[in-house]
Amino acid sequence: MQVTITKPIEDAINSVPGLLVVRSTTSRGSAEISLFFDWSVDMFRTLQLTDAALARVSQSLPATAHITTNRLTFATFPILGYALTADDRGTETIPQTRLWEIATYDLKPPLNRVNGVSTVLVQGGKVPEFHIVPNLARLQAANVNPARIGECDPGIQHH
């Protein structure tokens, strides 16, 4: 599949103007190739150019190969994006870690509960991290094994 179907099709469609990204998934008996174009292209014309490139390569594909093309739009897969930003020119700035926490803990759960919402993804920001430098003398005085520091205490709630 990869050699006789996917690669020849990818090579043929790479000449279509405005093409930015090609992603393909090849499995036994099938190949799915997704094309991502620049936002400024006329998609009706681009679909015609893609179909023409596929028609040229189809003659060299095995006789059992069947190619179908579909133009997907946001009406097919509606997507809505939100951006959280903080003005870093002022004296009070909101750290990227705080923006990530707001998106993850304050916004994502209620958006996930909206009827018709399939998936909510948080992208960007910075996941909060902690750097801990243990005081070995105090750990020994408290009879705490330093090797067990990373273990979770069931009595402590974690986010």
**φ, ψ of residue 120 in degrees (nearest 5):** -120, 120
- pLDDT of residue 86 exceeding 90, the answer is no
Give the up-direction half-sphere exposure of residue 154: CA atoms within 13 A in the CB hemisphere.
0
- pLDDT of residue 155 exceeding 70, the answer is no
Mean pLDDT of 120-143: 84
Residue 133's identity, in one-letter code, is V
Joined together, the tokens standing for residue 115 give: 């009827």
**Which pLDDT value is given to residue 56?**
93
Joined together, the tokens standing for residue 100 give: 């990530």
Contact criterion met (CB below 8 Å) for 57 and 38: no
- pLDDT of residue 16 exceeding 90, the answer is yes
Please give the model's pTM, rounded to 2 decimal places. 0.48
Mean pLDDT of 93-120: 89
CA 67 – CA 53 distance, rounded (Å): 12
**Which pLDDT value is given to residue 102?**
93
Range with top average pLDDT, 44-53, 80-89, 130-139, 140-149? 44-53
Residue with tokens 């069947």: 66
CA 68 – CA 84 distance, rounded (Å): 39
- pLDDT of residue 103 exceeding 90, the answer is yes
Joined together, the tokens standing for residue 36 give: 């991502």
Per residue in 20-37, pLDDT tens?
A: 999 998 888 888 999 989
Mean pLDDT of 76-83: 76
Mean pLDDT of 90-95: 74
Return mean pLDDT, the chain: 85
